[in-house]
A and B are shown apart, each in its own frame.
Chain A
Amino acid sequence: MTLKSNLKNILLVIFTTLLLSACSTAKKSGDIDGDVYTGKETVEYLAAGVPDRVFFATNKSSLTTASRATLRKQATFLRKNKKLNVVIEGHADERGTREYNLALGERRANAARDYLMTYGISGKRLSVISYGKEKPVNPKSSPIAWSQNRRSVTVKVN
């Protein structure tokens, strides 16, 4: 009897684990829209409610509606902190040739910079650097990780 109930328990545990992992996978794929990352993992904050990064689709540098909202928050934050300068780091995922990715990262960082400038932030406060695919934030080889790595990150300089 004990053996039977033990088995039952084990099966139950296995089943629950499977169910949970299925749930977490489902939740993760929900963090991607098109192939732009929309989740919160890896995101840091310049101040409360001001995310430091925006994400891009494969081979693209256009800003999504969500990215523009994030950048407007950054612009508000930068207007309030007039002495603060930032560097915008542009990044690409690992699924592209190194040199092209350097150019792509530069293009992405500038897309973010241009948007901040249209919201009144002086270009002098916004420098840009591309790391291409050299500094992934998530080392995994998976579509989710790649989407987290296709990003531009606004970093305080002073």
Chain B
Amino acid sequence: MKKFIFIFLINIFSITNLSALIEVDITRGNLDPLPIAISPLHVDIKSEKYKDLNVKELGDKISGIIEKNFRNTGLFNPLKKDAFVQKPDIAHLKPRFEDWRLIKAQALVTGKLLISSDKLKVEFRLWDLAAAQEMTALAFTTTPSNWRRVAHIISDKIYERLTGEEGYFDTRIIYVAESGPKTQRIKKLAIMDQDGFNTKYLTLGNELVLTPRFNPTNQMVTYMSYFRNMPRVYLLDIETGTQEVVGNFPGMTFAPRFSPDGKKIIMSFAKDGNSDIFTMDLETRLVERITEHSSIDTSPSFSPDGKFIAFNSDRSGLQQIYVMRSDGSNVKRITFGKGIYGTPVWSPRGDLIAFTKMHKGKFFIGVMRIDGTGERLLTENYYQEAPSWSPNGRVLVFYRETKSGNKGEGFSAKLWSIDITGYNERRLLTKTDASDPSWSSLLSK
């Protein structure tokens, strides 16, 4: 199911042409999104139906997913299809560039698909309309049930070509699905595609589960569970469903995350009123103490090169963010602003730390450089926390809770995302209330 075969179809144009082509600047908030026309994929009909798939509709559906992905970035403005000037199959062969330019499109996506001998074959082309040339052409072959992923992979390829950065569409988000009244919340591990589709529940809700996080290959998840009323860190294999306890110390283990090489889990261990940070090697099961302090040390997060750890501690009196070497040496406080700081998470690029800040009864999600300078608060609300990075380090997902009345009415917990530019804040649709999101890396890399 996971295997994709990439076939590079065409690569006609020489690299010297590239500088003339359109580019999207994603480092600033984009107030003038790039108009892009995403033509429905032409469907080469061998059969109308493939199992429960309506093949005829697939071209529209795939282009619809690409369109939604692009609209959600805030960087692109996908144009309305009723203004389109060419049939999908003809446009895919050779667009009439001047006609597409008339509807103010700057880029055009065309494609076609067919299902034959139990395989879905999809190809697409990205065209620069001003320069009147093809920018990218790719073809994919996969099992037909994977059609949504094909749409996400195509989106990633286009995003990459137009922005010069990796995309984040062929990804999943693991989170905690919540239901029931505030005083008796039922919580389950849930996983979905980044666009909210294909939700699957990984636990039944019999015990409280919190803070799931992916390993670098997205096959394993570490999380905290109150199974048998013993709060411990667990490891879950998503494919097999196998669960095992990894932080089985007498006390509580919590706040787990993987090391960037996936070999260790870093977590907090609380005993006798004190929480410190430890790592466990998953192969040797060797446990190593990283911090030793009478304060609360928790929410550890490795730098992507594995050399440093950010965490929060109240050793100064209130919760603040610290950075240390991965052996626990050289501890330095990096937050000195007004308010208290928690949940540091190192960006996949290594240049920024995302955090939660609490100040004057408000909660903020922000980013700062790894030495604590350049703090930028991206969003303010009644309650929000736990940012997690998109794999390209451009977007944060987090959860937000609303105020509730006497009986807990009005309470909700939802997932939101925001660009690190501070623009493009939007809600991620989930089937239930949701919290503790963790963004996977790109599934097909």
Contacts and interface: CB of A to CB of B under 8 A. Distances in A.
Interface string B341-374: 0110000000000001010010000000000000
B231 A130 contact: yes
Contacts of B26: none
A120 B272 CA distance: 17
Given A139-B182, A139-B183, A139-B411, A97 B296 contact: no
A25 B150 CA distance: 59
B385 interface: yes
A106 B254 CA distance: 11
A108 to B, nearest CB: 8
B81 interface: no
A134 B183 CA distance: 8
A122 to B, nearest CB: 15
B268 A103 contact: yes
B209 to A, nearest CB: 10
Interface string B396-407: 000001011111
B229 A129 contact: yes
B317 to A, nearest CB: 9
- Which residue among B272, B343, B386, B407 has the maximum number of chain A CB atoms within 10 Å of its CB? B272
B314 A106 contact: no
Contact of B408 (A59, A96, A140): A140
Interface residues of B, number: 46
B211 A139 contact: no
Interface string A106-134: 11011100100000000000000111001
B211 A99 contact: yes
A140 B298 contact: no
A95 B382 CA distance: 9
Contact of B342 (A61, A100, A130, A139): A100
A139 B299 contact: no
A75 interface: no
A137 B181 CA distance: 11
Nearest to A130: B252
- Which residue among A61, A111, A141 has the maximum number of chain B CB atoms within 10 Å of its CB? A141
B151 interface: no
A43 to B, nearest CB: 16
Contacts of A114: 273
A96 B224 CA distance: 18
A73 interface: no
A112 to B, nearest CB: 10
Given A94-B383, A130-B270, A140 B211 contact: no
Interface of A: 59, 61, 94-100, 102-104, 106-107, 109-111, 114, 129-131, 134-141
24 contacts: A61-B273, A94-B401, A96-B319, A96-B342, A96-B358, A97-B312, A99-B299, A100-B298, A100-B319, A100-B342, A102-B231, A102-B270, A104-B296, A106-B251, A106-B273, A107-B273, A110-B272, A110-B273, A131-B208, A134-B208, A135-B183, A137-B183, A139-B408, A140-B408
